[in-house]
């Protein structure tokens, strides 16, 4: 072992570098307040690792992004955990970087000779927000699409530079393929490389000038970075990661329905750390909009960059820095108040849609999925609402979880409703499917159930009409006479499935499955439905 260590040291100098790093002297006053920098660096590494893991299965085009992310979260082993770590890690990184800057500001650690260290930190904060902004579009769901539309509209309003910024974003003709490509390139290629180099430069400056001591602390004996400060940093990193890991398991990262540029009713909501700006825009309408979107953020960034050049007074003990505390408190109250107001004013339906996991409809059984189809075909939506918000329709809102009857009662109600409504054209088994769907509704899944893609319920209708469940199982429903159909896309190609419908004995001479002469539309629908099963 000693020979190996000596060889590594002789060829690379790595051992002495680590020893020098660990044995660096830091002020005696260093402690828990200095852990934020190490935690921020750790979170950057978490984001880089989880980003790479997501990238191995992510389709970086608008046509593939949403479905690939749904695959990651619903079928890939550990995919939901990795997505959760990446999603919540972004919020954690914003929080920690802001706390780190607040600590440096309150302690006055930006003063001579550490001005460049502070400036590098401000740029890293901006890069952190840029990561959040560019990554927001990549799920390509409605939430991401319309949130980015608002972002590009704000950018377009910048005086003089607006058109150029919009062109740089690739959004001159609206948010589309070019916008997605630019945001993806920035998020995956440009920002990580530049941020890594800036972190290295920032750490170099910290090491060059040392940790800022509190006044009169310079005379006290210094301590080594190892072991006390290393223990504090490690403990803080462990606590943050344990919290992040718990969030990734308990709270599903949101994934809404596929981006729909025609859905102008969707209410865009930014991530929580940008909601203060969203709320400020509500208060600053008309001529004041420019103040909220350009002037105020510009003044904030300019003020941060100017801090070490405006405050050139001698260092004071942290307990005497009342002005610094007052500035932080004022900013916290303003930001917190606007954010709280934005959260309170978020419509319930929008809040629930953001909190839901991906594609709840894929867990429905074929009979329940067919019920969605019968609901659509019978135009039940003309009288009933499936969402949380009451749209003023004459029938009761089915999305509030108010269906407390069993299937038999529902079927009897369909046959003889007791109110003047049009009679249904459904058969008994079809009414049974519709009832099975309706009693499945809850306030937690009604919005998602109402967003089942047309191909899915059309395919389920074909599946039910041809009694495929007599031989096959889907999501635990059906018989075991034939192979279960969940995960079919992993085993077969779509063309194979279509050929198998037409001539089952082509692939299995002993097959007892009859041949099906579907119309082109029915064949496409049932194949697409089966290939989408988890």
CATH number at residue 507: 1.10.760
Weakest-pLDDT range from 194-203, 336-345, 357-366: 357-366
pLDDT in tens, 12-63: 999 999 998 898 888 888 889 999 999 999 999 999 999 999 999 999 998 8
pLDDT for the residue 92 = 97
Using an 8 Å Cβ cutoff, are 479 and 522 in contact?
Answer: no
Q: Is residue 6 part of a domain?
A: no
**Average confidence score pLDDT of the chain:** 87
Look at residue 352 and tell me whether its pLDDT is greater than 50: no
106 and 231 within one domain: yes
Query: Cα separation of 432 and 435, whole Å?
Result: 5
Of the residues 304, 332, 355, which one is the last residue of a structural domain? 355
Look at residue 201 and tell me whether its pLDDT is greater than 50: yes
- Counting the structural domains of the chain, the total is 2
Look at residue 239 and tell me whether its pLDDT is greater than 50: yes
User: CATH number of the domain that 81 lies in?
Assistant: 1.20.810.10
pLDDT, greater one: 184 or 436:
184
Query: Cα separation of 175 and 146, whole Å?
Result: 9
The residue segments making up the domain with residue 265 are 22-355
Q: Number of H helices and number of E strands within the chain?
A: 24, 4
* Most distant pair of Cα atoms in the chain: their distance: 92
412 and 311 within one domain: no
Using an 8 Å Cβ cutoff, are 425 and 378 in contact?
Answer: yes
SS3 state of residue 406: coil
pLDDT for the residue 402 = 53
453 and 351 within one domain: no
Residue 185 pLDDT level (bands cut at 50, 70, 90): very high
3-state helix, strand, coil in the chain (%, to 5): 65, 0, 30
Chain centroid to CA 291: 29
Report the pLDDT averaged over residues 314-333. Answer: 92
341 and 469 within one domain: no
pLDDT for the residue 387 = 63
């Amino acid at each position: 072992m000693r020979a190996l260590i000596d060889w590594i040291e002789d060829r690379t100098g790595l051992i002495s570098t680590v020893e020098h790093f660990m044995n660096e002297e830091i002020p005696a006053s260093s402690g828990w307040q200095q852990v934020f920098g190490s935690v921020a660096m750790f979170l950057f590494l978490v984001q880089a690792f989880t980003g790479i893991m997501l990238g191995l299965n992510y389709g970086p085009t608008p046509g593939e992004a949403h479905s690939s992310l749904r695959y990651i979260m619903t079928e890939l082993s550990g995919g939901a955990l990795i997505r959760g770590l990446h999603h919540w890690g972004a919020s954690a990184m914003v929080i920690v970087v802001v706390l780190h800057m607040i600590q440096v500001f309150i302690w006055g650690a930006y003063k001579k000779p550490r001005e460049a260290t502070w400036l590098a930190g401000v740029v890293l904060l901006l890069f952190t927000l840029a990561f959040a902004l560019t990554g927001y579009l990549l799920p390509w769901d409605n939430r991401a699409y319309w949130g980015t539309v608002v972002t590009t509209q704000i950018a377009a309003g910048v005086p003089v530079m607006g058109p150029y910024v919009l062109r740089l974003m690739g959004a001159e003709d609206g948010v589309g393929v070019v916008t997605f490509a630019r945001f993806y390139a920035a998020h995956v290629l440009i920002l990580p490389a530049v941020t890594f180099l800036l972190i290295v430069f920032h750490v170099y400056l910290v090491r060059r000038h040392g940790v800022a001591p509190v006044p009169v602390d310079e005379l006290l004996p210094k301590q080594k970075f190892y072991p006390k400060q290393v223990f504090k940093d490690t403990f803080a990193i462990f606590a943050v990661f344990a919290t992040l890991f718990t969030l990734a398991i308990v709270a599903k990262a949101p994934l809404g329905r596929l981006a729909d540029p025609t859905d102008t009713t969707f209410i865009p909501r930014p991530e929580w750390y940008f909601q203060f700006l969203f709320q400020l825009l509500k208060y600053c309408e008309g001529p004041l909009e420019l103040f909220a979107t350009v002037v105020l953020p510009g003044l904030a960034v300019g003020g941060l960059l100017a801090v070490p050049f405006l405050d050139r007074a001698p260092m004071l003990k942290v307990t005497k820095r009342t002005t610094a505390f007052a500035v932080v408190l004022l900013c916290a109250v303003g930001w917190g108040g606007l954010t709280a107001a934005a959260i309170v004013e978020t419509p319930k339906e929008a809040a629930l849609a953001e909190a839901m996991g991906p594609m709840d409809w894929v867990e429905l059984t074929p009979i329940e999925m067919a019920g969605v189809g019968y609901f659509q075909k019978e135009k039940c939506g003309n009288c009933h609402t499936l969402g949380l918000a009451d749209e003023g329709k004459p029938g009761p809102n089915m999305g509030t979880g108010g269906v407390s009857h069993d299937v038999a009662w529902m079927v009897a109600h369909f046959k003889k409703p007791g109110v003047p409504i049009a009679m249904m054209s459904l058969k008994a088994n079809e009414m049974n499917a519709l009832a099975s769907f309706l009693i499945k509704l809850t306030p937690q899944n009604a919005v998602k159930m109402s967003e089942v893609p047309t191909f899915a319920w059309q395919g389920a209708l074909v599946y039910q009409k041809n009694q495929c469940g007599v031989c096959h199982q889907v999501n635990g429903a059906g018989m075991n006479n034939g192979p279960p159909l969940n995960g079919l896309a992993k085993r077969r190609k779509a063309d194979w499935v279509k050929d198998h419908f037409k001539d089952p004995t082509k692939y299995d001479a002993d097959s007892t499955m009859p041949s099906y002469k579907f119309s082109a539309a029915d064949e496409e629908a049932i194949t697409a439905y089966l290939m989408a099963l988890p």
